[in-house]
């Protein structure tokens, strides 16, 4: 879902954030006067799961979604400004939403449109008001047809890829505003609240290439993709979804830094959903200093949590815990392979963080990467056990 296309923008992140979050006095008055809408969140903190369905045939009896508040079916594509199916089984899979909601009456089911590599299609649609109207109308039709509860717009990323436009910034705002208006009208007729979310970038320039303060009144949740801080696009290792900056890189990337930037830009805490990664990033030729962490190396791609558990059981890898970053790593000293990933302990700390900062909740990419539900259960159990009486693990505020 979220890969390397955006990462060169991090080089300009500090300057970009200053531009994006600052406004002159006239702009500030305009932003502060925007209506708050009728946002009614689910009980906090919510848990959201992305299901990257692909060519799978969904079987409701094999899905374990206890404790999940929102399920995102990923993905649909843009097809001539319409909601287009991708795989032959998509229509049948999306029909399972009805059965899911009978089994889990409190759960909402959304469809995610877009994903990595679809920015060109979004840009071409959003630039034209008539084509935006076609998409908006079709989105409402699609959601009604499959008895879904809303849509997750996954535009990666406005104005930040080749073949996109400088006007993507304002066109994205227009698209979100028009989607909200259409869903509000549908709500009046259908008697149900439709949810509108966006998959938001976890890097500073996303806040400058979009207009977060202007779209906020129309969005129920910002699903912030707080992972892929490091990957195969880097020629050295690093934590890819760490909660705090590491002691070895105190000014480096972290979930805490990203979330604080969103809050400082005026996004309400209750609309912020931070991301957990049910996969890791791995490198080869990583030297033994710091057990392979922040060492020159060659990235060799992502690895699902299912396969990471196999590495642990092989006896060839040793797990390490970075107490400052609150993140685990694996290192194979013989083969010089380093893995940054998420485990039960790190996702539990992210749940604590959600409580600590009164955020809207936590989401994870991706459900099928955790076939024994170890991470999903860790999140569910921590949400239940804390019950807003979070344990203080020495986690600083911002």
pLDDT digit string, tens, across residues 109-136:
999 999 999 999 999 999 999 999 999 9
Q: Which residues are catalytic?
A: 156
Residues whose CB falls within 8 Å of the CB of residue 135, separated by 6 or more in sequence, listed in order: 78, 81, 82, 83, 125, 175
Q: Is the pLDDT of residue 239 over 80?
A: yes
Span 210-216, average pLDDT: 97
Q: Is residue 167 in a domain?
A: yes
- Mind listing the pLDDT tens digit for each residue in 73-115? 999 999 999 999 999 999 999 999 999 999 999 999 999 999 9
Q: Could you tell me the residue range of the domain that residue 249 belongs to?
A: 4-277+344-386
Residue 326 near residue 346 (C-beta atoms within 8 A): yes
Which is more confidently placed, 322 or 32?
Answer: 322
pLDDT at 44: 78
Residue 339: inside a domain, yes or no? no
pLDDT in tens, 317-372: 999 999 999 999 999 999 999 999 999 999 999 999 999 999 999 999 999 999 99
More reliable by pLDDT, 34 or 49: 49
Return the residue matching tokens 């949400």.
383
Domain count, the chain: 1
pTM for this one?
0.89
337 located within any domain: no
**pLDDT value of residue 15:** 43
Output the domain CATH number for residue 357. 3.20.20.80
The verdict on residue 87 lying in a domain is yes
pLDDT at 19: 46
Asked, for residue 309, whether it belongs to a domain, the answer is: no
pLDDT in tens, 133-171: 999 999 999 999 999 999 999 999 999 988 899 999 999
Question: Which comes out higher in pLDDT, residue 23 or 123?
Answer: 123
Report the pLDDT value the prediction gives residue 76, as an integer from 0 to 100. 98
**Residue 176 confidence (pLDDT):** 98
Query: Within a domain: residue 287?
Result: no
Residue 20: per-residue pLDDT: 52
Residue 321 lies in a domain: no
In a domain, 230, yes or no: yes
């Amino acid at each position: 879902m979220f890969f390397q296309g955006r990462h060169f923008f991090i080089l300009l992140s500090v300057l970009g954030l200053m531009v994006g979050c600052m406004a002159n006095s006239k702009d500030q008055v305009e932003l502060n006067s925007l209506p708050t809408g009728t946002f009614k969140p689910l009980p906090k903190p919510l848990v959201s799961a992305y299901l990257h369905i692909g060519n799978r045939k969904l079987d409701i009896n094999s899905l374990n979604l206890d404790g999940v508040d929102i399920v995102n079916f990923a993905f649909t594509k843009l097809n001539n400004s319409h909601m287009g199916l991708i795989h032959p089984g998509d229509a049948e899979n999306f029909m399972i939403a009805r059965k899911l909601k009978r089994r889990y009456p409190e759960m909402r089911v959304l469809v995610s449109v877009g994903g990595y590599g679809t920015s060109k299609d979004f840009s071409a649609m959003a630039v034209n008001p008539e084509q935006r109207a076609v998409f908006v109308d079709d989105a409402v039709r699609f959601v009604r047809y499959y008895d879904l509860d809303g849509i997750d717009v996954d535009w990666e990323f406005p104005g930040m890829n080749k073949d996109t436009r400088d006007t993507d910034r304002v066109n994205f705002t227009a698209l979100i505003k028009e989607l909200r208006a259409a869903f509000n009208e549908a709500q009046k007729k259908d008697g149900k609240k439709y949810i509108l979310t966006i998959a938001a970038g976890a890097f500073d320039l996303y806040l400058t290439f979009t207009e977060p303060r202007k779209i906020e009144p129309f969005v129920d949740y910002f699903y912030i993709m707080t992972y892929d801080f490091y990957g195969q696009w880097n020629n050295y290792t690093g934590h890819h979804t760490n909660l705090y900056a590491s002691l070895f890189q105190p000014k480096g990337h972290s979930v805490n830094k990203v979330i604080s930037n969103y809050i400082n830009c005026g996004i309400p805490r209750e609309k912020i959903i931070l991301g957990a990664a049910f996969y890791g990033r791995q490198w080869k030729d990583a030297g033994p200093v710091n057990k392979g962490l922040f060492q020159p190396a060659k990235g060799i791609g992502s690895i699902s949590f299912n396969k990471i558990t196999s590495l642990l059981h092989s006896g060839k890898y040793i797990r390490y815990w970075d107490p400052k970053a609150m993140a685990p790593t694996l290192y194979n000293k013989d083969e010089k392979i380093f893995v940054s990933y998420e485990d039960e302990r790190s996702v539990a700390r992210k749940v604590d963080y959600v409580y600590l900062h009164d955020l809207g909740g936590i989401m994870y990419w991706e459900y099928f990467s955790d076939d024994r539900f170890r991470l999903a259960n860790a999140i569910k159990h921590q949400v239940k056990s804390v019950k807003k009486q979070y344990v203080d693990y020495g986690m600083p505020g911002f």
